[in-house]
Structures are given as C-alpha cells and as structure tokens.
Chain A
C-alpha cells in the first residue's frame, strides 16, 4: 500500500535522506529506530509532504507524488491526497490551544470533509472514549497533561480516517510515567490492524508490536527485519552499537 522509491533530501550541503526505499503492506506496523540525526523524522515528514524531497517517488494507496514535479495546483492536490491518507502524530502534540479537546478532533472533519457538526461530534466522542478521554471533551489543551494531550492528538488524527498513521517520536516529550498511557493507545491501534509507521526510542514497544523494524543510519535504511532479527541477531556493527547504547540507557 505504501511504496517509497529512492527518496533523497538535503538541507544545503547536508544530505539527510540518501536514497531511501521502502514498501509496506496494509495492516503492517513498522517501527523506525536509529540515532538522532539519522533522517528518520525527515523520512516520516516526507511521507505526508511536510517536507518536500529533492528526488524520489512516494505512493500511498495509489496516489503518487514524484519529487520536483512543481508547485502547481494539480501537484498541490496530489500532496493533499497523500496527507489525507496519512494521519500524523507529532512529538510536541501540536494541539490547537484555542480549541477544546472535542473541537480539536472535530475541526478537520468539519472544515476539510464538510461533515455536519453533530456527525463530527458523535464520532469525536467515540474516538475520545477510545483514547480514554471522553470526560475531557470540554477541556482546553492547557488543562490537560502531556499524555492526555498526545492521546487527544491521536484521536484528532484518527478522526480523518487515515489509511496509515505516522507517529513521530510520540512519547519523547513526555515524562516516563505518562508514556504508558500513550503507548497503550498505540498498542490497541496496532492490534486492530491499523497500518502504522512509528519513529520511536521505545524499544519495548518495537519488540512487542512491530511487524518489521527499520534501523536508520546516515540517511539510509541500514538494516531491516523482524523484531527478533534486529534485536536478537543484528548483522551490522552500527546496529549492534546502537542497541548496546540504548540498552545501557
């Protein structure tokens, strides 16, 4: 369902993505690990076009965007097509502070899909219940803990009924005791068969939930495999070194 061909992205002279290729089936949960600055976040942001790659092609569910295809209206429509099939959860939550939790979830369905308010609210309440926050529907983001905010952000992304969920280090900004409530929601999604790409440092989550683990290094996928292959029997020296450091931490 997702195909990425030879993705390249540079910031000035720094090459952040150096020819990334990736293919993913519907229902597959992929976890990306790797040292900071290895390009894993940029890869995720390229997938829903928050970053524009220099070259390469991205296809999600039949919609293809080729890099360097210009900034015309038609291309912009294609980019929005990618974004509509991919939901994104950010490290810093990025909830809309002027809207309540409920409004955060209903805003895009109403504005983008033209849903009626009541229809959007009914589903938003279901989604908030799903992430365990039905009682916080009327709260503003500033009144919620980090973990609660991130769970609202997940509900917000799910409200657009995306085909794939992209998680960009969703627990990195959270205190350790708040991480579990977010990971719990993500586990549930994976078990329900949601197609996911998760960039994270949560190795336990990767082991338990990933169908496939990608190890990023220097803008490339250095090693890929099942959790067992990567965690128990890594082939590359850099992978071993990284896992040692993470384990010590």
Chain B
C-alpha cells in the first residue's frame, strides 16, 4: 500500500467499524425500548407536556411513537433534545430515531436516512384578525414576518425579501403578532391549527401552501431499522391507525390520504450545495445581516459608554442614596444573565404596557448591560490616577467636579481605551444573542442559511471572515487612538 492510499484506507476502516456496530434494530428489540428524540418545549401539538398533568407527555407524535413501537414489538420512550440539534444528537447516538416533525428534504437526507412520510404538512400564513391581504408569499414581500427558528418556513425562498424575524418558540411569535411587532407568522399547519386556530385575535390568511412530508430520521447505516419502520408506517396508514390518531388530534385533512400511495421517488435526491461556489447568492444576505450587527453594536456601545460614565460618576462622587443605587445597578446587572435581561425587556415589559421593538430592546439590553462593565472599567481607570493629581488640582482651588472633569477624566480616558475597545469587540460578537428576541443578525442569518443548505463550513468561513473583517479595523482604530492620545507625541 502506497503512502498516498493511507488516508483512504483509514476512512474505509472507520466506516466499516461504524457499519459493523451499525444495525440497531436487533439492539432495540433486545432492549425492548425504542428511544425517540424530540423537543417537548413548546412542542404542541407534536409532543408536549399534558397541561393537566405536566409530568406526562402527549401529542400526536407520542401516540405515533407508541403505535410504531408496538409494530416493532417494543415500548417507546421519548428522549428530550433541543429541536435544531436533533440531527447531531442522533449522529452521536443519544437515541435511535428522530420523530419530531423532521421534514423530508434533500438537506436532511444528506445527513440522515428518512423514512416514508407519516404526515403531510403545509405552510400557513397567520395574521391578526383585522389585517387585510397577506394571503400569499408574494403579498408578504417587505412585511415583517415571524418564523420558528430552523423550521421549514424559515427556509422558504420567498421569505428572503421579507423583514424576517426568527423565534425560539411558537408562543413568542404569536405574542409579537398580537403586540403589532410583526405583521404575519408563517408556520407549519399543525402548529397553526393548535396555537392560532382557537385564538380569536388571529386568523388563517389564505390557503395552506408548499406541502411537504414529515418522516422519521434514522442513522444512515441503520438500514434494517429503516426498512422495519417503513413497513410499520405503511401498515399504520393502511389499517387507518394514522387517520384515527390525526382525527383525534384535529390534524386530519384530505392531504393525508396520499400517505398510503407514497413512492420514494417522489422526493428528488439531494444535490450538494457549495455556498462558497455560489457566494454571490449568499454573501449579500450575510452582509445585510452584518449591517444589523454593526448598527446594533455601535449604538449599544455608545449607550454603554455614556451610561457607564454617569454610573461611575454617581458611584464615586455623589451623595449616599444615589451612590448606593449606582453600585446596586452594577452588581445586579453583572450578576444576572444578559439573556434574562433581554427576555425581561422584550417579552416581560409588554405585560406592564411597555412595548419596545426588537431593535430598541436589543440596544437597551446590550447597552445597559455593558454600561455596568464600562462603569467598572472607568472606576479602575479613575482609581489608577495617582492621588497627587487630584491634590494638585484641589490645591489650585479647583472644586471636586472641576478636578474630575479637567484632570482625572482626561487621564483616565487614556487608561480605559484598551479595556473599552475589548468590550466593544466582545459586544460585537455578543450581539448575536439578540436573536432570542427575534432579530436576524449575522450569526442568526448564518444559522438560517446553514440549516437550509447544510453547508456549515462554507457559510461558517464567510461569516467568520465578515466578523473578522469588521472587528479587526476596530482594534486597529483603538491602537491608533491610544497612540494619538499618548502625552508625548
């Protein structure tokens, strides 16, 4: 064997080991339990905690899992896993199958084997009761539209021309719709049926469109398990068990009739997407998202720099109650997670009548959070100025405030430039956290595009390059500023 063939040989060896330990059907039967991965958090009507008895899970996929397991002669047990991380968890071996609204798409098929479909879903536009129009994708152009992060809707090409907002769960998107923060929500029909249909403030706008299939995700090497599950689904379709479950859950429609006649060829085979090769299509989307990251970081940092100064001046030079307040602010803000602060600002404040839009909430959240760190940076800077400086100023007859303003702060500014620059660059990257309050900034756009193309590498390189391209000039600028402000030029 020549030197060059070694890597190939290793690759083949690794694969045959995987294949050897591969077929889990035997193991599942011995174990007597089928482990199925799903996310019960906000998971209605698929799988979710029973509102009456929260320690029990219900939902149509629960019943389906039991029916399938029955066909295999075993019991079913659900394994909780965050929805957008189900495929990596399956690959890791955390459970045997994914049964949680996983769409049969070319992208998913690149990474896992998909069973024949067990449900036909479609996309539904939901708006407020009083809204007009917006009955089709074309009419959504330019409107602010909410989708569930990583959902089929988030990959609809038509939504790229909307002001897209992504949400970690379904409850938040409908809350924002009702709060007039967005104009419409596009989502899988079963979810719409469960959450939006009974809600008198909301309505279905237009007919469902873009049908697709849910299938069971299985590791590619588990070929006999795949065959057994396909067999089981077919039987459940033919003996009308599926129909019975879906009618019971209010999810039956005429589309489901096609499940019996499904042919595997109906779904085109995947072709590999290289976003690097097709960069003119993807880079502009990333750059537009980067503009949001930049705008957000710059405004939030400006707020932090000014608010931090006010806080430190109160803390060091003001009277007792204000001094304590400033100190308490720093401690409380530093002692609580930014994530919670953002949730409070965006989802919490509306309960007392204050509705901030996502951008404003993001700026306030990041800015007020970083203000606490900036205040601490300033405090360290101010306290690093020798006491002889303020003594000299006081001896010249300056007041405390004049001393601070003309002698201490100008010197402290030079001391705090490096830590404040560090914070700015950190904020730049931290700003991606605002995706939890529905904003689509650079990291979120990366996530959306990566999940729709599965080119994590190519998009990741582009995204990292954009971040670096933006933060490196910032540190160059800081160096220049430091040099410029040195006492002796």
A143-B488 contact, Cβ under 8 Å, with A92-B388, A96-B407, A98-B411: yes
Please determine whether B392 and A90 come into contact, CB atoms closer than 8 angstroms. yes
Kindly identify which residue among A48, A94, A98 contacts B388, using a CB–CB cutoff of 8 Å.
A94
Contact partners of A86 in chain B: CB under 8 A: 395
A17 in contact (CB, < 8 A): no
Contact mask for chain B residues 456-489; partner A; CB cutoff 8 A; 1 contact, 0 none: 0000000000000000000000000000000110
Please determine whether A48 and B395 come into contact, CB atoms closer than 8 angstroms. yes
Please determine whether B399 and A83 come into contact, CB atoms closer than 8 angstroms. no
Kindly identify which residue among B386, B388, B392, B398 contacts A111, using a CB–CB cutoff of 8 Å.
B398
Report Cα–Cα, A97/B415, bound state, in Å: 13
Please determine whether B397 and A98 come into contact, CB atoms closer than 8 angstroms. no
A14 in contact (CB, < 8 A): no
Report Cα–Cα, A95/B386, bound state, in Å: 11
Contact partners of A88 in chain B: CB under 8 A: 392, 395
Report Cα–Cα, A84/B402, bound state, in Å: 14
Which residues of B in the span 407-447 have a Cβ within 8 Å of any Cβ on A? 407, 410-411, 414
Please determine whether A97 and B394 come into contact, CB atoms closer than 8 angstroms. no
A243 in contact (CB, < 8 A): no
Please determine whether A140 and B488 come into contact, CB atoms closer than 8 angstroms. yes
A107 in contact (CB, < 8 A): yes
Dominant secondary structure of chain B at its interface with chain A: helix
Chain B residue nearest to A153 (CB atoms) is B392
Please determine whether A90 and B388 come into contact, CB atoms closer than 8 angstroms. yes
B50 in contact (CB, < 8 A): no
Which residues of A in the span 102-152 have a Cβ within 8 Å of any Cβ on B? 107-108, 111-112, 140-143
Please determine whether B397 and A80 come into contact, CB atoms closer than 8 angstroms. yes
CB distance from B466 to the nearest CB of A (A): 37
A50 in contact (CB, < 8 A): yes
Contact partners of B402 in chain A: CB under 8 A: 111-112
A156 in contact (CB, < 8 A): yes
Contact partners of B386 in chain A: CB under 8 A: 94
Kindly identify which residue among B391, B393, B395, B411 contacts A97, using a CB–CB cutoff of 8 Å.
B411
Please determine whether A160 and B488 come into contact, CB atoms closer than 8 angstroms. no
A34 in contact (CB, < 8 A): no
A157 in contact (CB, < 8 A): yes
A50-B395 contact, Cβ under 8 Å, with A98-B411, A98-B414: yes
**How many residue pairs bridge A and B at CB < 8 Å?**
64
CB distance from A228 to the nearest CB of B (A): 33
A87 in contact (CB, < 8 A): yes
Contact partners of B414 in chain A: CB under 8 A: 98
Please determine whether B406 and A94 come into contact, CB atoms closer than 8 angstroms. no
Please determine whether B410 and A83 come into contact, CB atoms closer than 8 angstroms. no
Report Cα–Cα, A95/B397, bound state, in Å: 15
Report Cα–Cα, A90/B396, bound state, in Å: 12
Contact partners of A84 in chain B: CB under 8 A: 397
Chain B residue nearest to A156 (CB atoms) is B396
Contact partners of A94 in chain B: CB under 8 A: 386, 388-389, 391-392
Please determine whether B396 and A108 come into contact, CB atoms closer than 8 angstroms. yes
Please determine whether A96 and B395 come into contact, CB atoms closer than 8 angstroms. no
Kindly identify which residue among A83, A96, A142, A143 contacts B397, using a CB–CB cutoff of 8 Å.
A83
Please determine whether B406 and A107 come into contact, CB atoms closer than 8 angstroms. yes
Contact partners of A107 in chain B: CB under 8 A: 396, 406-407
A98-B392 contact, Cβ under 8 Å, with A111-B398, A112-B397, A112-B398: no
CB distance from B318 to the nearest CB of A (A): 14
CB distance from A30 to the nearest CB of B (A): 18
Report Cα–Cα, A4/B219, bound state, in Å: 93
A142-B388 contact, Cβ under 8 Å, with A48-B395, A97-B411, A98-B410: no
Chain B residue nearest to A48 (CB atoms) is B395
Please determine whether B487 and A140 come into contact, CB atoms closer than 8 angstroms. yes
Report Cα–Cα, A109/B70, bound state, in Å: 92
CB distance from B403 to the nearest CB of A (A): 9
Which residues of B in the span 201-237 have a Cβ within 8 Å of any Cβ on A? none
Please determine whether B487 and A141 come into contact, CB atoms closer than 8 angstroms. yes
Please determine whether A142 and B392 come into contact, CB atoms closer than 8 angstroms. no
CB distance from A161 to the nearest CB of B (A): 11
Chain A residue nearest to B489 (CB atoms) is A140
Most buried by B among A50, A86, A94, A153: A94
CB distance from B131 to the nearest CB of A (A): 60
Please determine whether A142 and B399 come into contact, CB atoms closer than 8 angstroms. no
CB distance from B308 to the nearest CB of A (A): 21
Report Cα–Cα, A97/B385, bound state, in Å: 11
Report Cα–Cα, A118/B395, bound state, in Å: 23
A50-B487 contact, Cβ under 8 Å, with A96-B407, A111-B402: no
Report Cα–Cα, A96/B391, bound state, in Å: 11
14 more CB-based (< 8 A) A-B contacts, given A88-B395, A96-B411: A50-B394, A50-B395, A80-B397, A80-B399, A83-B397, A86-B395, A95-B392, A98-B414, A107-B406, A111-B406, A112-B396, A141-B487, A160-B396, A160-B397
User: Which residues on A are within 8 Å of B, measured CB to CB?
Assistant: 48, 50, 80, 83-84, 86-88, 90, 92, 94-98, 107-108, 111-112, 140-143, 153, 156-157, 160
User: Which residues on B are within 8 Å of A, measured CB to CB?
Assistant: 386, 388-389, 391-399, 402, 406-407, 410-411, 414, 487-488
